[in-house]
Amino acid sequence: MSANLKYLSLGILVFQTTSLVLTMRYSRTLKEEGPRYLSSTAVVVAELLKIMACILLVYKESKCSLRALNRVLHDEILNKPMETLKLAIPSGIYTLQNNLLYVALSNLDAATYQVTYQLKILTTALFSVSMLSKKLGVYQWLSLVILMTGVAFVQWPSDSQLDSKELSAGSQFVGLMAVLTACFSSGFAGVYFEKILKETKQSVWIRNIQLGFFGSIFGLMGVYIYDGELVSKNGFFQGYNRLTWIVVVLQALGGLVIAAVIKYADNILKGFATSLSIILSTLISYFWLQDFVPTRVSLCRKAGVLWPDLGSLQPPTPWFKGFSCLSP
């Protein structure tokens, strides 16, 4: 049963990661009449959906008893204000990160985004060494160096890019800065969250409810500050369509799926699932979105990024088990 849940959760993770990147990219570059949906409101809605999903999971763990659910939420959240406040820091960072991913995918093709975003493995490793006192061996540092080299080659302009003065769907520099900032925020928030989880015995779902609560507050603040005028003019759900709701649901599903993978599998297989997602995103980006043209050079560059993920399946494996970061 546990083996079935392990591979089921991994399959869902591959599907969720690939689908989110591609649908988000497509929704941000699709030309339609009327105003485009606001990424700030999409982040808030995703947080609210995540809270609802976690409450349902806690309800199930409470043997479908409303009285037991109320007692758990009261005891674990309201009666432990300091424990709850600890989640404000990673929650605010995750909210920033989720908004940055919309910016990144508005300006980068899906394949380039997927590969560059793997730098979060490097940032997670660095924060794990500094915050959790983890020790890395020569093999692990070599993998990280190859990862950085691969990402650098992916971002290095090709001859066709140098000749072209126009960049489709926005500025590549803005997208790069957004995804790099998201990598650092993901690494720090993930390790900080891992540290909190190791110091307490609270349920992962309770922690996600706490994250979602603060994430909703920070998200609403962002909506008011940056898009308040547009919301007052065209409404909170302006530009929302079926595709937008699919993006929102997939984003809300992300944190829950990763939590399930860590619970039923491990981060080694999670890295392999991420590599499969990169391959699928590259293929679909080429055949469906048609915003990525593969060349021998670009494929070699991506292989340099995939190698550390795929190489994590080789000994020594305990290192990757340390990266229990529930980042979206």
Peptide bond into 316 cis (omega under 30): yes
Residues of the chain with pLDDT under 50: 159-169, 266-268, 296-328
Which pLDDT belongs to residue 280? Answer: 75
Tell me how far apart the alpha carbons of residues 30 and 153 are, in angstroms, rounded to a whole number: 28
Q: Which residues contact 23 (CB under 8 A, 6 or more apart)?
A: 243, 246, 247, 250
Q: How many CB atoms lie within 10 A of CB 226?
A: 14
Q: Which two tokens stand for residue 142?
A: 């070599």
Which pLDDT belongs to residue 161? Answer: 46
For 165, the enclosing helix (H) or strand (E) is none
Q: Which two tokens stand for residue 2?
A: 């546990």
Which pLDDT belongs to residue 229? Answer: 92
Tell me how far apart the alpha carbons of residues 281 and 109 are, in angstroms, rounded to a whole number: 10
Contact present, 296 and 113 (Cβ < 8 Å): no
Which pLDDT belongs to residue 109? Answer: 76
Contact present, 149 and 304 (Cβ < 8 Å): yes
Q: Given 3-state DSSP classes, what are the helix, strand and coil percentages for the chain, each rounded to the nearest 5?
A: 80, 0, 20
Phi, psi (degrees; rounded to nearest 5) at 87:
-80, -5
Which pLDDT belongs to residue 200? Answer: 75
- Ordered by start, the domain boundaries in the chain are 41-154+167-295
- DSSP reduced 3-state for 265: coil
Rounded CA Rg of the chain: 20
Only one residue has tokens 């520099």, namely 173
Burial 239-248 (b: 16+ CB within 10 A, else e): bbeeebebbb
Which pLDDT belongs to residue 219? Answer: 93
Which pLDDT belongs to residue 268? Answer: 47
